[in-house]
Amino acid sequence: MEAHRLLIEGIVQGVGFRPYVLREARLRQLKGWVRNSSKGLEILIYGTREEAETFLNLLLTHPPEHALITGSRHKTVQEQGEAEEEPEHPNTFRILESPENDHQDETSAGALLPPDRAICDRCRQELRQAGNRRNGYAFTTCLNCGPRYSVITGLSYDRARTTMAELPMCESCRLEYEGSCGAVPKEGPLPARQHSQTNSCPVCAIPMRLYAASAQLLTEDPARCLDLTANALEAGSTVAVKGVGGYLLLADACAANAVKQLRKQKNRPAKPFALMYPDIETVQGDAELSETERKALESTQAPIVLCRLRDKPASGLCSAEVAPGLNRIGIMLPYAPLLRILLQRLARPLIATSANLSGSPIIYRDRDALAQCGRFACLTLTFERDIMVPQDDSVIQFDTHGRRILLRRSRGLAPNHHPNPFSKLPVPVFAAGADLKNAFALADSQKLLVSQYLGNLASYESLENWHHVRQHLFGLYRFCPEVVLHDAHPACHSSGLAQKLAAETGAACVSIGHHESHFAALLAEHELHQSGQEVLGFIWDGTGYGGDGQIWGGEVMRYCAQGIRREVHLKYFPVLAGDRMSLEPRLSALSLLHSCGFAADRREKLLAGFFTEQEWGYYNKAALTGANGLQTSSMGRLIDAVSALLGLTMRNNYEAEAAMRLESLASVHARSDTAAYPLQLSPCGTQIDPRLMLTAICDELSYGESRGRIAIRFFRTLAGLVFQLSRKLGVFTLGFSGGVFQNALLCGMIRQTAGPEHRLLFHNQLSPNDENCGFGQIAAWQIRQLKQA
């Protein structure tokens, strides 16, 4: 009798695929087996070729809800040949354990890593169901929810290759796991925990512990841990709680003193805090929630969603302390049962921010939490399920057209990217990414992984995390690159890391321009990077090393069959005080007013109060002399300058504060004002000259025009510039990348202004910010290879 080996690749593990195959095969009276392996999902069927083809088609067209299939294969084998794992003809269909020598196949692995998923409806019901043995159990998970990527230690995905390996199941859980708790239903939901690798219950509970700020153990009793934690939050204290990807600091968002105390403890004077709400009803009392935003909050990814704040939040939220100067707040729902239990008890929004000092990565190791969280929190609540890789909460928002903008790609979204636009890569490639918002990428013909957000590599702790996550992913897939890519800036931390890795592995090491990688990332997301089709890319951000040694950031680039080239850019203006300019918008204002020819007395009047007398003399002289000769074309710095001129932000307390405050102010007048400012190109047509626009803005300020109207006109001018350049250059497929396009208001305006002749390309699975640079470095290298072919 023929045997048929089926292989399904993609996110096919940790999604309930094996129990699903088992049920469907037995319903059809098929004989054979299914198992996980590093290749993906392997199935062996005894029968005719037609039966095997029909069964494979069923699995491909009706897979489990959370599966993502990237490929499949069907091979006919002989019963005693390649079907040797089952030497005797089976009389049924069953689930086999993964092969012991699975590591031999990891270099060609087709199994992608399942992301962590938020608690599902069924587990939420069990948490509060009287008489259910998991009622109130803080680590309830099933086939459809719970930690995945954060606990995986090896491929394939089985309990023995997770951080649950040393936590044995009780008899009841073992029976659930083996599917011995009753007949499998012929249709509808599968048994919730058959082959669920993170299965546990109160009898075989994951041990929980509560520590004082001094790291003294207070209790190991789960009920008392939860009681003391809830009581501390009620009393206005800060507590640290272990989540899925790291430790969170929780505090009462309705108690102004609690919020102020947390700001002081974290050295975070103004940056907005994320909020966790007990349920969607409480959210709707505080935020103007669209249907798109509601669905995102309730999704299995459970990200932080930026939502418009109501004038009078019903919960008593201290909005001025939580998000000063902003009209949007970051909201999420409790994605883990432990967090859900705490939020249900308190029945109010809590601040839920990463446990770290500002600028450092999230704490995820228990020993580090006990050593460091005491400086922020009076209590630290932890448990024995280790976290393999750190992950912050993902952050998204939606523009006025309901289009998603990723601000941070991490828990629930990392590390997969599908489809893989690099499936034709001739060799394995690793890209180190950028420095400020790092996310590296690795790819070969079988897979593409883009790491979670790893933070600013200027931090030693972030560098450690970068090494840890890279080594973890390399180890899972036995990945060894033959090409290593990095940013063209010679002083970037990521460039040094890449060069060291290339030397260790013998790989070729290639530098890629920062804005080239942004544009290439956008093209590859839309699978246009090898098309040769003309695309005009607006690559606007704060800082990036340019091909001429200057600081780029207001770039308009053209892609065509000949590759990527710079067409137009914002007119250069002096960089004052080096990196400090990105921290002090007042410096951008001074530099731009000088470069645009504003007279000294007018500059002094417009910037009155911005500088001390000593500072004014120093920086004004630097602007006049051109400082060290370094110039910038940064659109981010132009936005900073306008924010400063309107009196919103002289010095940034956090990254992009000036831009966020300007967007918040402008959004109030988004519908009531349709005017824009003049903005011209230089005579040669290759530079955007902001002089007329800045003159008009300063004139309106002098006349006493509303700052909000000036702000909205400024953004409308930038949106209009896009289509002015499109017409001039004769290209109507337009792409947008770089941190400026995190601005939901500007993106919405661009969509609104576009004509029927325009095709607009925005990022879908990646953030427009520097997180996309690793992915983009691979795309840019592939574009170069095609050009050279």
Asked if residue 114 lies in contact with residue 14, where contact means CB atoms within 8 angstroms, the answer is yes
Nearest to 770 by CA among 734, 735, 741, 733: 741
Intra-chain end-to-end CA distance of the chain, in Å? 49
Nearest to 156 by CA among 15, 6, 3, 55: 15
SS3 at position 411: strand
Instruction: Give one word for 409, left, alpha or beta, with left for phi > 0 and alpha for psi -120 to 50.
Output: beta
User: Phi/psi of residue 588, each to 5°?
Assistant: -65, -40
Asked if residue 257 lies in contact with residue 236, where contact means CB atoms within 8 angstroms, the answer is yes
Catalytic residue among 23, 36, 404, 438: 36
Catalytic residue among 18, 348, 603, 637: 18
Asked if residue 233 lies in contact with residue 342, where contact means CB atoms within 8 angstroms, the answer is yes
Residue 36 known to be catalytic: yes
Asked if residue 96 lies in contact with residue 85, where contact means CB atoms within 8 angstroms, the answer is yes
According to DSSP, the β-strands at 239-242 and 379-383 are parallel
User: Phi/psi of residue 485, each to 5°?
Assistant: -115, 150
**CB hemisphere CA count around 440 (13 angstroms):** 27
Helix (H) / strand (E) element for 119: namely: none
CA 262 – CA 154 distance, rounded (Å): 38
**CB hemisphere CA count around 471 (13 angstroms):** 8
CA 479 – CA 481 distance, rounded (Å): 6
Residue 707 known to be catalytic: no
Asked if residue 363 lies in contact with residue 355, where contact means CB atoms within 8 angstroms, the answer is yes
C-alpha distances out from residue 141 to 63, 122, 127, 244, 304, Å = 21, 9, 10, 12, 21
CA 677 – CA 655 distance, rounded (Å): 27
How deeply is 397 buried, as exposed, middle or buried, from its count of CB atoms within 10 A (0-12, 13-18, 19+)? buried
Nearest to 564 by CA among 522, 594, 599, 603: 522
Q: DSSP secondary-structure letter at 384?
A: S
* DSSP labels, 543-596: EEE-TTSSEEEEEEEEEETTEEEEEEEEPPEEPPSTTHHHH-HHHHHHHHHHHT
Active site residues: 18, 36
